A and B are shown apart, each in its own frame.
Chain A
Amino acid sequence: MTIPAENRPLAVESPRERKVHFTTCYMCACRCGIQVTVDDGRVRYIQGTPGHPVNDGVLCAKGSAGIMKQYSPARLRKPLKRKPEAVRGSGEFEEIEWDEALAIVEARLSHIRATDPKGLAFFTGRDQMQALSGLWAQQFGTPNWAAHGGFCSVNMAAAGLYTIGYSFWEFGAPDWDRARYFLLWGVAEDHSSNPIKIGLDKLKRRGAKFVSINPVRTGYSAIADEWIPVRPGTDGLLALAIVHVLLTDGSIDFEFLARYTNAPWLVVQAPGSANDGLFARNAAGQPMLWDEELGCAVGGMTRQTKPALFGTWTLPDGRTVKTVLALAAERYLDIEYAPETVADACGVPAETITRIAREIAHVAFSETIVLPIAWTDAWGRRHDSVIGRPVAMYAMRGVSAHSNGFQTCRALHLIQMLLGALDGPGNFRARAPYPKCIPPHQRPNTAQAMPDTPLAQPLLGFPMGPEDLAIDRDGRPLRIDHAYSWEAPLAAHGLMHMVIANAAAGDPYPIDTLMLFMANMAWNSAMNTAGTRDMLAARHADGSYKIPFVIVADAFSSETVAFADLVLPDTTYLERYDAISLLDRPISEPDAPADAIRHPVVDLDRDVRPWQEVLVELASRLKFPAFTHADGTRKFRDYQDFIVRYERAPGIGFLAGWRGVDGGQSFVGAPNPRQWDAYIENKSYFAYQLPEQIKWHRYANAGYLEFAKEVGFIDEAEPIVMQLYSEPLQKFRLAGQGVYDGPRPTDPDDRARLVRYFDPLPFWYPPLEMEASGQGRADDAYPFHALTQRPMMMYHSWDAQNAWLRQIIADNALYLNVATAAALGLADGDWARVESHHARLNCRIRTMEGVEPNTVWTWNAIGKQAGAWGLAPDAPEATSGFLLNHLIAEHLPVAPGSTQRRITNSDPITGQAAWFDLRVRIAKCTSAEAGPHPTFEALPDVGAPRPAVLRWSSR
């Protein structure tokens, strides 16, 4: 049957009232460019910015749904003060004016600053301006600042920056255009969003192989050419078994190891001495290598050095030394790491492990890419081409959120080093300002807080050894989160997840004020959520709060807002200026250092202020030296003015584009009063395309290193030698052994942890909670791994308020493998009780095939407290959605009745929250038990109208 065609006139949208603005998304951490069409003041359409370095025109579900966040009923509208009679956490507030709110904060903070600055704990959650927040805290003089990296990605960042000079997640990206083989380790659907999606499409178009190592087959794993359902927490074992096969087969890029890594460096073998396991160094402090031609040890690498990769020698001073690679080969050739040995623990057949190792070896060494690009290496050798071994890897949460994540991530970097597959064509590549020297030169603040005095250096950094810890003379932490203490020595992002527990316990000291920005610490960002809420509201016997004052800055009425004594309402991302800076976590892509801005594209319709504006205002009122003149007058009119005129070093400021008085300079130049306009005219981003000859192998590319020094990314144009063997780790181990020539811990737990975990070569150990729960034993009380992942269309708790996104997902169930569920007598829709060593919850069950049978999982942060986020109290997020966080303890389990000290449930090296270590048991609820548990009292209505029907239109 043919249908007669007809054309009828259609209403054509008039462009008359339409304005198109380019700015930057904030619906997650990707910071895509967005093109926002505004129709008579209302947002008509948000689309990706074509040509933008992050997303090149595409946009994810969150980005397109930004309109519904802009018009969400959960938006805060005015500063709020807890009602005098209301208890903290009740969410009972009265509206106040900004003058009063700022006066309260100013009075409180100026008193703290003048008396005991560490009494302020300022922790920022999904902060995209850490360079400002960190500077602010440093100027205040409190050591107690960090953002959310401690429960997100610090294992990836620290492992990368202590090993290869750049890192997974923020500071690197796969070469999607050239990789022939791609291994994706433990990446859920969000890290990152559009860049990975764009990249996977590119890989598939070119016929490259995509292998996903992940216990759950959803999202990216759904389209993998091969899915390897690894048991959670065993990725490191799997990686080291691949290393075993590569070494056994001799599939190694020896030249790469000799030139670009410390594989040939000589390690002192003197067990029991203070030098054991440290590098042999010459008088100038240069690490020594054995020169095959000269037949002796030499200090430092020159163009002529012919380093030996294997061997043991006795130096003229009598010390026995061995190369790093010899130590590594001895370890990984051991049967302990053979595929057959690890297969059961990983849940991956030995043949599969061997095959994967040989496939990547084939691609690396037989499908080598040669680009006809001449370059010069840092030792002055001219190369007429760039060689690529086109195996790329990427990794994130499934590695980072385990207590063995740091060493696991180092194991992944070890594979890359053995293959010579780093920052070349087809590899995992660095994003500016990385690579940097290993670890980056910045040491953490180790100074005590002093009244009315800024701390001399930035708070977060990278310890080289025990002398860089933030501890007092008795070895106690200087920081409220215990970062850089013996419990978490390389805590480069802090331990935000421990702040509330430590502050409530007064460990190491009580604080006065907790100031949180954009962090849902009373809900989905906490481990032990119910306990954390109790701690936030905990009181002394005299009725006073253990945390005397809580300030929360957020744009929306989260569960944490309810615990504030004072709420400072923030704007949305479409209503304010932001700098996404190269001093911070920029939007750079491998080929182009880049940064970006946001600027207001719609007018404010509420009495709220951008948080960064508030920070600049407070910094001026509190007379921080960086923000005020000697006479006490303010240096900066506002945030915009600060961004333009603040210089960290002469000519280097927050934004790298259009510097110099006439805007003609990039990276370094005098402040340009028209810099914001220049960004706005250029679609709100700056990207500098690196010339071909300085794009590759940047750790050893002389041209790049000189460029990086000129623009302030690095201090010296010296080669960045990858650290297969980590001397800083060995120094901590020596401290644990009690032989280090410097600070040493006295507590036996600290000593044992340093000895065990601070291995200078990557190794695998079971995640700490798995060890504690007796995994693998017949009496294993908690036999299942329990994980969460974020759905692609939701960013944490933020998006339940989104009228469109919550139609896609508004509640969550616990997913089990079909066979596992059958064995437990569970069926779809059943209520189950799920218990960990710490707590119990009830939730509904869903079955699926695509999950490893010993693993259960659910969507992250879908469950909500009734009444939060502008939702009706009977919203499914509150009535059937649930948080797995209730089951996760912030401390490791101790035997009942034990007096053992409580140790953070975190990676023992970096302090990364180990929330993927969770082990549970599952049983069907009795009919009496069925129903949600735990439940919380509903928050009072925020008062914004909730329409029964929404008929959104910008017209």
Chain B
Amino acid sequence: MKLGLVIDLDTCVGCHACATACKEWNGSSAISGPLSDYDPYGAEPSGVWFNRVRHYEVGQYPDSKTINFPMSCLHCEDAACVTVCPTGASYKRADGIVLVDQDKCMGCNLCAWACPYGARELDEESGCMKKCTLCVDRIDNITLPEAERQPACVLACPTHARHFGDFDDPQSNVSKLTAERGGFKLLDELGYAPVNRYLPPRAPPAVATAAPASESAVRGEGALSRLVRLARQTLAR
């Protein structure tokens, strides 16, 4: 089993719904909450988030494209954050989810340095490392209705740009989407074998143009007469 997310860059409008839904669920989660917010009403508000959305532009005006790019833990197959952990707090489950055992973490930050994606955030108040759990306490929680056993970000995403599933199952939604849409691994060349995939923007659809009703598009009186004739012909049918 290899659980992870597919994130569709074709439909992500950068609304941050995933980020706040994540913050909301996990802030009160028994396994990773609270997620501290520092100076929340003051000069330098900041805090612990599992999921952040960045915004980029590619190309030059007027052909520029704005890319909204959500990023959270990619649950790498070769998760350096796990191997460097001196206390054994970081671990990878059989289903592929990378977690931090809050009782064992001493907040040494080694894992955050080892993570090439910047996906881990130290909670300075608890002194423990925090990261995306794929909402393990939703997907494992049999007291929730089955449809809700999904990561909070996936449930919330208004453009349905986020999908959760098992990449080991070729019939899963995430495997099919990856195959159909050319899902790619982020910075695959670094060699950490990230599980999450991003779907690139689709090519704009080609639309044919209607041919003018007459060969020569004449304006003024000619165009008006033609329009009158067309109207008569159409309504006489």
Contacts and interface: CB of A to CB of B under 8 A. Distances in A.
A606 interface: no
B14 A219 contact: yes
A310 B228 contact: yes
Interface residues of A, number: 119
Contacts of B136: 10
Given A5-B94, A358-B209, A953 B137 contact: no
Contacts of B141: 12-13
A45 to B, nearest CB: 6
A838 interface: no
Contacts of B47: 803-804, 807, 950
Interface stretch (B17-25, B106-114, B166-174): B17-25
A222 B41 contact: no
Contacts of B19: 61, 808
A946 B42 contact: yes
Contact of B158 (A60, A307, A874): A60
Given A223-B201, A329-B227, A793-B20, A250 B213 contact: yes
Most buried by A among B12, B44, B209: B209
Contacts of A47: 21, 148, 152, 155-156
Interface stretch (A197-205, A421-429, A493-501): A197-205
A241 to B, nearest CB: 13
Given A7-B94, A251-B213, A358-B209, A64 B20 contact: yes
A951 to B, nearest CB: 4
Contacts of B212: 248-251, 358
A58 B205 CA distance: 27
B28 A850 contact: no
Nearest to B78: A1
Contacts of A358: 209-212
Given A333-B223, A818-B61, A67 B42 contact: no
A849 B12 contact: no
A932 B24 CA distance: 34
Most buried by B among A59, A361, A870, A955: A59
Given A248-B219, A803-B37, A951-B125, A208 B13 contact: no
Interface stretch (A135-143, A224-232, A477-485, A907-915): A224-232
A6 B55 CA distance: 36
Interface in A29-62: 39, 44-48, 50, 55, 57-62
B160 A201 contact: yes
Interface stretch (A362-370, A646-654, A688-696): A362-370
A333 B219 contact: yes
Given A208-B205, A951-B36, A45 B228 contact: no
B27 A952 contact: yes
B13 A222 contact: yes
A850 B64 contact: yes
Contacts of B159: 197-198, 200-201, 223
Interface in A1-39: 1-8, 10-15, 39
Given A333-B219, A946-B41, A949-B38, A6 B92 contact: yes
Given A200-B159, A249-B210, A949-B125, A209 B24 contact: no
A577 interface: no
B224 A60 contact: no
A953 B205 contact: no
Interface stretch (A252-260, A431-439, A780-788): A252-260
A796 to B, nearest CB: 16
B41 A64 contact: no
B98 to A, nearest CB: 9
A362 B19 CA distance: 40
- The secondary-structure label for the interface of chain B is loop
A613 B22 CA distance: 35
A501 B17 CA distance: 39
Given A58-B160, A222-B14, A3 B83 contact: yes
A85 B66 CA distance: 54
A954 B159 CA distance: 28
B207 A181 contact: yes
A872 interface: yes
Contacts of A223: 10-13, 159, 201
B226 A803 contact: no
- Interface size for chain B: under 10, 10 to 19, 20 to 34, or 35 or more residues? 35 or more
Contacts of B235: 254-255, 258, 292, 306-307, 309
Given A849-B64, A953-B33, A58 B217 contact: no
A874 B43 CA distance: 5
A247 B24 contact: no
Nearest to A39: B28
Interface in B107-132: 125
Nearest to B76: A3
Interface string B177-191: 000000000000000
A221 interface: yes
B219 A338 contact: yes
B19 to A, nearest CB: 7
A330 interface: yes
Contact of A60 (B15, B37, B202): B15
B28 A11 contact: no
Interface in A815-850: 817-819, 848-850
A950 B40 contact: yes
A333 B79 CA distance: 66
A562 B211 CA distance: 62
A848 B45 CA distance: 25
Contacts of A947: 40-41
B57 A848 contact: yes
Contacts of A8: 91, 93, 99, 101
B55 to A, nearest CB: 8
Interface of A: 1-8, 10-15, 39, 44-48, 50, 55, 57-65, 67, 73, 181, 189, 193-194, 197-198, 200-201, 204, 207-209, 217-223, 225-227, 229, 247-252, 254-255, 258, 292, 306-307, 309-310, 325, 329-330, 333, 335, 338, 355, 358-359, 361-363, 365-366, 792-793, 801, 803-808, 810, 817-819, 848-851, 853, 870-872, 874-876, 879, 946-955
16 contacts: A7-B94, A11-B31, A13-B30, A45-B25, A50-B147, A64-B23, A189-B13, A200-B13, A204-B202, A250-B230, A254-B235, A359-B210, A850-B64, A872-B43, A952-B28, A953-B27
A-B pairs, top 8 by smallest CB distance, nearest first, are A250-B213, A358-B209, A197-B158, A849-B64, A361-B210, A222-B66, A225-B204, A803-B40
Given A818-B60, A853-B61, A950-B40, 11 more contacts: A8-B99, A11-B30, A15-B143, A64-B156, A197-B158, A197-B159, A225-B205, A292-B235, A808-B16, A952-B27, A955-B33
